[in-house]
A and B are shown apart, each in its own frame.
Chain A
Amino acid sequence: MTAPSAHPYADDKEAFALFRRFTGSEFTRLSRLLHSLDLAAHQTVYNQDTPAVSFYLLKSGALSLQRCGEDGKIHRLTVVTAGRSAGRAALWPEENQHPETALTLEPCILLALVRQDFLMLQKKEPALTVKLLTALQQEIYQEWLDSRIEFHALTARLNQANILL
């Protein structure tokens, strides 16, 4: 059996908030399924409305998630920074499509977890999958909380501006 420190992604455990609560052995088992990708700046990682086949963890660099609306306008949803994840639609139980496009803003290193490997992991190691999904849920909740705080701060500033006007 390979020692945890000998694994190519073993040192990445602390880089991702998602894996903070994973033990070394758990992370090693999961990281065996990960594929490392080096992408240059301004490259597409995945496109909107294409099948969601992989979930991505951003090791370094920044990603822009953007969505083309019905009016044809492109809206930037968020910028994903190192340590965060993208392409979460791939982890839904049924076949799905990416609801947004992911573009690299600078050279990026991504770790990809293929959907089929995740489904296999779900059967083989349900406890590990639950742990991963719980960590992802926490990340999503934190993102939602941050966006609400930002929204309320913006609303408060707009109210102040209205009062001043």
Chain B
Amino acid sequence: MPFEINLDKSNRGKLAVQLGLFSAIAFLLMIVDRLFPALAPVLLPAMLLSATLSLLRRGFSAARYALWPLLLICAVLWLLPDPMLRPAAPRMAVRASLPQNADAVRVLQTNVQQVQQTILTFSRRVSEHLFVKRSYLTWAFSLVALAAIVGPLLRKMILKKIPARWFEPGVLFLYELPDQVARYLTAEAISFLMLSLGWWLSLSLLGFPHRYDLALLFGLGSLTPLIGLPWAAGLTSIFLPWKQSGLLAFIGLIISFAVLWLMKYLFLNPLLRSVRPDVRKPVLFACFFTGLVFAGYTGAFFALPLFFLCRRAADISRHAWRMLHPDSQSRQPAAS
């Protein structure tokens, strides 16, 4: 059965811990985002960059030299003059002001315009956060450089200071968790970049408007398994240029989606499966739609990645707890 829900006693506990942690972190992030709006745009690129750097350093012996170009980029970013800010995207959503005798087509048009405006506002906000503001990038790069220099020393110092019986839990939190998160973020970033690029190429060929925004949306959709990509492709279809060979563009869109879906299935899914924790479909749908209802597109696109990270943290915490509180019966052997 595809939607079988196995909630026996042990599963209920695990699920409750994960969902509790997810809700707590989501709530905390919402508060932090309101209090410090610059934190998310600094931390997001910093996390992505540090994940890539950490995997590079583990994977290649020559990657230790990667720190020098990183420091150079930091210096350049700090010294560069502030660029001229781009004109801000219109943030006001189109409001329907319909006459009494408005026909169905007009209502539909206005609704579609509203959805289009919301999507564009969201994608411009994301791209602004990620790429436009140099001061955010400067802080992100500097944080990563600092972490790359101080991190290993700090980690060794913490393991030296903590009591010996906490060594294994300490290793779990300081080595295994960052490694798992780094692998997850890097795999998702690769998938995001490849699918965004593929979608942008397709939309360019088909003559769609707002190609960058829609490609970004499609890439973000890849963060959510099963639902994300079809949903992002569905949102793209709202922007179909109906007035100029719309049907042809629609068919082209379906073919492009099928090609990218196949590419993801063949090449990216094996990579993603090794880093994504197994999540039951009801949990997946619940996270996606809860995020959509409570935090709009941001919630929908980032709820599952957040849940995955929470799940990793919960699993590691569970293992650490088991390490610190072993079954007392297992201490005395029956026969020596």
Residues of chain A having any CB pair with chain B under 8 Å: 35, 37-39, 42-48, 50-51, 53-54, 64, 66, 68, 72-76, 101, 103, 110, 112, 114-117, 119-120, 123-125
Contacts and interface: CB of A to CB of B under 8 A. Distances in A.
Given A50-B319, A50-B323, A116-B179, A76 B168 contact: no
10 closest A-B pairs by CB = A76-B333, A116-B175, A124-B61, A37-B164, A74-B333, A73-B334, A53-B171, A47-B326, A76-B336, A39-B164
A117 B327 CA distance: 29
A48 B323 CA distance: 9
Report whether over half of chain B's contact residues are helix, strand or loop; otherwise say mixed: helix
B172 interface: yes
B183 to A, nearest CB: 11
Contacts of A66: 330, 333
A114 to B, nearest CB: 5
A76 B332 CA distance: 9
A46 to B, nearest CB: 6
A114 B158 CA distance: 14
A22 B171 CA distance: 27
A115 B168 CA distance: 11
Given A50-B319, A51-B319, A44 B172 contact: no
A116 B179 CA distance: 8
Contact of B323 (A35, A47, A117): A47
Report whether over half of chain A's contact residues are helix, strand or loop; otherwise say mixed: strand
B325 to A, nearest CB: 9
B3 interface: no
B330 A68 contact: yes
Given A47-B323, A74-B330, A116-B175, A123 B59 contact: yes
Contact of A48 (B330, B332, B333, B334): B330
A117 B152 CA distance: 11
B156 interface: yes
A103 B334 CA distance: 15
B164 A38 contact: yes
A66 B171 CA distance: 22
A110, A117, A124 — most chain B CB neighbours (10 Å): A124
A120 B182 CA distance: 14
B281 interface: no
B310 to A, nearest CB: 18
Contacts of A125: 61
B243 interface: no
B312 interface: no
A35 B58 CA distance: 19
Nearest to A79: B336
B330 A51 contact: no
Contacts of B336: 76
B333 A120 contact: no
A37 B167 contact: yes
24 contacts: A35-B159, A35-B167, A37-B164, A43-B165, A44-B165, A44-B326, A47-B326, A47-B330, A51-B319, A53-B172, A54-B168, A66-B330, A68-B327, A68-B330, A73-B334, A74-B331, A76-B333, A76-B336, A112-B167, A115-B175, A117-B175, A123-B58, A123-B60, A125-B61
Given A43-B164, A119-B58, A101 B330 contact: yes
B176 interface: yes
Interface in B309-330: 319, 322-323, 326-327, 329-330
